[in-house]
Structure 1
């Protein structure tokens, strides 16, 4: 069984995001980029399935700018077997919308015929949380989102999901789309020997046109702004004073 893992190049989660002076978007100049953390979890889970003998090949896919090669090399260094880069933009500030990404992934799924697609539940840059669900709709496959635990057995997968009220366990028939949550696993660090080996692993380069997909944006950013600065807290001397101040501000 092949496992397909989409990965996205995003601002590193340790970096403080800066908004452009004109409010047109986020400033990416000289900013460290890395793999989306949820996608790292997806790559790790796919590799574990291969190590357990439940998958034969792990294919990493990235859709965006040419610099996403670095992100794919990270996936290859972790243990993915090969990679596909779909160059869909020239400007690093261009974000390919979820529907276009899902359509391209549908084309790749048709070509590669994987038994399972494992994707991060969302990207930390736009928080769309939509690509996995859209891909499931386009393919007609079963979907299991927000996976906390994944167990593949034959032609089915049992997935424990994180939901508002706790955990939910479902069973889906393969092929299926699974999106990962934070507690599914702890991604491994790529060793130096594996980083060197990753440079020799195959990486195929494609374009959206190869899959007949138009990536022209359907959404436009009106403005981007910093979140409001939190006001300093206020110390009170007693519970009565606290209640009084809450009443004054209409909080109770």
Structure 2
């Protein structure tokens, strides 16, 4: 089984004369947890859209050799819509089974196992719109996992999750990576958690400023990537200095 499951080669995208992404190349392997950081407007979400197929008019090449599970940024939630938690998670099965086929007993067992894995089994009969931000993100993760992906892609999954919930969520991702032999590619503004949880960190600001293991990034690479966002650069630098006892 080939280790590499995603290859991006010279990916570029612009609107008119304005570059959104320029000459981005990298690979992701199984059992690799990759964190993508960068300032606002750096092209991170555009990159994710190109990988999952929501964007096509780019130059370069995206090669995916694995089934993708995708947790988008700020997934829509209608608080008054009368659908239960377990029914939302089951939507992740529709891609393979079809929306019109009734779910079998084994399908519902799979859904319940996933809800147990992400820590919200006890909420399975609740209306999805009543969940907290952290609970809802776990539900969206369960839905993404239902199709048994080999590459899990997440765009700012910690949005709306409190600090304690973030730590638990990242531990869950780490266990899924190891147990399911999957690769994970995640965009995040939580720089501290990215350096703590991820094997590899990519700094993007229109182009790829660095792509290396979390403990080998140099402060000047961070400064280059975050030069347009002073607050994020300061947080990145402070975390770097704490980790390296500078």
Q: Give the TM-score category using the shorter length.
A: under 0.3
**TM-score, normalized by length of structure 1?**
0.27
Which is higher, the Rg of structure 1 or of structure 2? 1
Structure with the larger helix share: 2
Normalising by structure 2, we get a TM-score of: 0.27
Q: Which has the higher contact order (CA 8 A, sep 6+)?
A: 2
